[in-house]
Structure formats: C-alpha cells, structure tokens
Structure 1
C-alpha cells in the first residue's frame, strides 16, 4: 500500500474553515505516514527455502515471488577406489504464491561439472551438463507465515532434462512434509520427512527412498540466523541398499526484508554419505 494522497484542490481547501482545516490536514498527513508502516509490519517475514538441508513449511503470500540461486556448490565424495568432485552453479528455484496457504515451485540446475579420479591408476574423467527440472506444490496446513507450529505437504516431480552426474536420466517423484515449531522468539525446531520414488543408480527405473532431517534454528540478531541439522537417508537401490548420515550448518543473512545471502557446509558421518559439501547463494523476494 502506497498510502493516502492529500487533496490539494483550491476548492477543497477554501471550504475548510480555520481550525477545522488544520485538524483535517494534520490527520491526513499522519494517516499517509502511518498506513505504509502498518502494511509493512503486517507483511510476513521473508522465508526462503535456502539454505540448509531441510525444507521450510512457510508459503509465500499470493502474488509474491521468490527467486533463489545457488551461486556455487562443491561436493567431495571419496573412497579407496576413487575421488569425485562435483561443482554446480546457477542452481535456480522460482517460487510463486497462488493462495494464502499454497505456492508452486520450479527448480533447475543450469550447469554442473564433475571430476572423477581413479586413486589406483590415476586416470581422470571429466563430465558436465545440466540438471533435471523439478516441479512442486507446497500446501501449508497451519500458519503459512511459519510462526508457532507450522506444517505443510509438498508433492513434487522431476523430469529428466539433464544428464548424469548432475541429472538422474529418468523421472522421479515424491513428497515432503516439512514442520517447524517456535520455542521462543530466537529458537525454532525444524524437521522434514521425505518419501521418494528415486531413480535407480543405473538411470533406469525407480526404487523407494526415505529421508528425515531434524534441526534447530537460532536467530542471532535481527538479520542473521543459523541452523544446525542432522539428516539420515535410507536408499533401497537395487544395486545396493545404503543408509547415509549427514550433519549440516548454515547461515542466512537478510540485509533487507526481501533479500538474503547464505552459506553452508554439510559433512558426511559415514562411508555411504558424501564427505563434504560447501555452498553459498542468495534469495530475493518480489
């Protein structure tokens, strides 16, 4: 809301007599000053998907959009046989509020590059490409601004527009159930449960996978927040079942109410998980 406009028509001012005119002009000026402040105070805080492992339960207001970009992401995964480094850039997520409790999402990784070195022979393989396109609907069930106890359901589907190792080479689908609970004005608990029809490792067919993320978020100041998370993934791939454990720490800084800059790190806790991931990015609400 841009506020009230005070009429400056000579006829309108002429019809107002002495003290009455002064009182009404003062009231109008105060109204034009206070109304934008009230609208700003009523607007929900910006709640990007980035950073972190889990997914927030909040949704955007109707007609508002959020563009979130992973500027850089490096993942290291090594064992006795080989070492693989994967770099991703321009990881894009666009969110749009379609109702007070619902938003739609489109995600895509524009570019990725991998380097795999055989630790026995020293041979190196390089591969590059783009990622798959993901489409999702997030339907909030309680408190769409993320306050108090907030919960949502989020079905999604990914289409194989990319190629391995950045894309999966086949379609996949699943659903997430994010939940958050504010313990105080500084501390919040966050969880995300995910059920997937994940693509097989050979890129042909699908299998069941389950993922659970639990964490705690701390609001350090008016603009800075930190989140610590733990993730466990049970993957029932036909070529070998695995259970991976990962810990993560991320920071989000919002210098303005519609802009966030973030960075994070994830560390694998067992041999089935990637050893290390470092990333940074930014988000902007429109």
Structure 2
C-alpha cells in the first residue's frame, strides 16, 4: 500500500511540474521572449507544400526561404518560366501558440518562350507580399497530433498582379512512430475572378516524412489544387530532403513534379534559420 501511495505522489509531482512548465511558457510574449534553453524544437513550414501546425516560440524570429526556386509549365508549345530568388517567409512569435508571418517575393523573373527558345513577356522585379497568422489549437508542446488555423491575405505588390486575394489553411500533423510523420492540410483560397468578383479554389495535400538520422530527413508528398471557376485541376508529386546543421539552422532541396498536363514542374533549394 505504501508503494502505491508513493507512486501516486511521484506521478502527481511529475504532472504538476509539467503543467507548471506549460503554464509558465504561456506567460511569454513578443515582449517577454521564451528563454533560449526553454525553446521548442524548430518547426518549419518548408520544404513541402503542407504547412506545419507548430508555431514559433514567443519573442523569437524565424526565416524560411527559397534561395532559388524555378517553376515551369508548357501549354500549346509555349513554355512559361518563373524564377524566384530569396522567396522568404519571415516569422515572429507573438504568443505561446501564435506567430505572425510575412512572405516576401524579394526578386521574381518570369517569361514565356516559344519552341525556338525566343523569350517574350519578360518581366522582373519585386514579388507579392503575403501576410499570414498561424494559431496552434493543440500539439504545440508535444503529443501525437498537432493542428492549427492559418488565415492569410495576399497583397498585389508585383507588376503582374493587381488583385487582393486570401484564404485559410488547416494543417494537421500526426506522429506515426519509428521516425515517421504524417501531415495533411486543407486550404480554401478566395481568388480574383477574370471578369469581376471572386471565386473559390481548394488545395489538399498529404505528406509522409522520415527521420533518417539526427540531422537528415526526407519526405514524399502529393497535392491537388482545383479552381472552381476555371474548372482547372492540378496534381503534383513532390519530394525532398532537409539537413540540420544546428538546432537553429537547416538546409533543404526538393522538387514538385506535375502529374497532369500544364501542371508546374518546380525545383528549389533553401534554408531555415531561427534566432
């Protein structure tokens, strides 16, 4: 009986301490940062399409960027190319479960070319700005699952866009054991119509990641994107790898291969850094 009472007391102390740690962390804000020795493991929204439901620690900054990303599609003998340089997602932890994100198209070059290689519609300059807020609903501090809400708005700061668009993303992750992670998301987009008004787009993805070692990880992913106004359906198979140099610095590279005609083929290399 004494052993049982002692075990119950030990468990109560452990649970009380864990609860106190979580409650203490929730007191941290943008202006009262989480101490570096109490920060969670770095979670990133890249390199896959599926977003991560975990947020940046309160009071800390994180940068995730495509150093170089090229997208290509072909239609009726015309190849469309878009090259992004330093397509950066700048994140700032506001509270225990919420971060603010600014996606910046630092420099974008796009053009079309015909079968002879002649270029036309060649434009270059600053890209669009996207403002996003990630709010984790559960799983930020561990557990088998995590879920978040991510509303966003896209501001037309590039030469080729004059429409404000937006939407909301619902990312979910599941730890399935043995170093494997499963993720999925549903994304509802509010898109500018060609004539006037707005219409809806839908994106859904699934991804499986595998930790190969303490520093190396890989993933395979598929997603579809459907535009309800244009009845346009895109389907892609994606893959890539990430290498953690430190707990706050990771490099990655990958590809998105369109499985349906006119779906973009994308190749990229980038990194994530946290301070």
TM tier relative to shorter chain: 0.7 to 0.9
Separation in 2, partners of 1:130, 1:236: 29
Q: Could you tell me which residue of structure 2 aligns to residue 135 of structure 1?
A: 131
Q: Given the alignment of the two structures, is residue 149 of structure 1 paired with residue 145 of structure 2, yes or no? A: yes
Separation in 2, partners of 1:104, 1:265: 27
Task: Please list the CA deviations of residues 72-130 of structure 1 after superposition, one character each: whole Å capped at 9, or x if unmatched.
Answer: 00111012331112111011111111111111111110111112013389563312222
Q: Could you tell me which residue of structure 2 aligns to residue 80 of structure 1?
A: 76
Q: Could you tell me which residue of structure 2 aligns to residue 50 of structure 1?
A: 46
Q: Given the alignment of the two structures, is residue 117 of structure 1 paired with residue 109 of structure 2, yes or no? A: no
Q: Given the alignment of the two structures, is residue 285 of structure 1 paired with residue 274 of structure 2, yes or no? A: yes
Q: Could you tell me which residue of structure 2 aligns to residue 269 of structure 1?
A: 259
Q: Could you tell me which residue of structure 2 aligns to residue 197 of structure 1?
A: 190
Separation in 2, partners of 1:146, 1:192: 19
Q: Given the alignment of the two structures, is residue 176 of structure 1 paired with residue 172 of structure 2, yes or no? A: no
Q: Given the alignment of the two structures, is residue 243 of structure 1 paired with residue 233 of structure 2, yes or no? A: yes
Q: Which blocks of at least 5 consecutive residues in structure 2 are unaligned?
A: 1-34
Separation in 2, partners of 1:116, 1:145: 47
- Root-mean-square deviation (CA), in Å? 2.0
Contact 2:75 2:262 in 1 (8 A): no
Aligned length: 241
Q: Given the alignment of the two structures, is residue 188 of structure 1 paired with residue 178 of structure 2, yes or no? A: no
CA displacement at 1:145 relative to structure 2: 4.4
Q: Given the alignment of the two structures, is residue 253 of structure 1 paired with residue 246 of structure 2, yes or no? A: no
Q: 1:211 aligns with which of 196, 199, 203?
A: 203
Moved more, 222-231 or 119-128: 119-128
Separation in 2, partners of 1:221, 1:269: 30
Regions of 4+ moved over 6 Å: none
CA shift in 2, pair 1:120/1:263, >3 Å? closer
Separation in 1, partners of 2:222, 2:195: 28
Q: Given the alignment of the two structures, is residue 222 of structure 1 paired with residue 214 of structure 2, yes or no? A: yes
Separation in 2, partners of 1:138, 1:70: 20
Q: Which blocks of at least 5 consecutive residues in structure 1 are unaligned?
A: 1-38
Separation in 2, partners of 1:146, 1:131: 36
CA displacement at 1:196 relative to structure 2: 0.7
Task: Please tell me whether Structure 1 or Structure 2 has the larger radius of gyration of its CA atoms.
Answer: 1
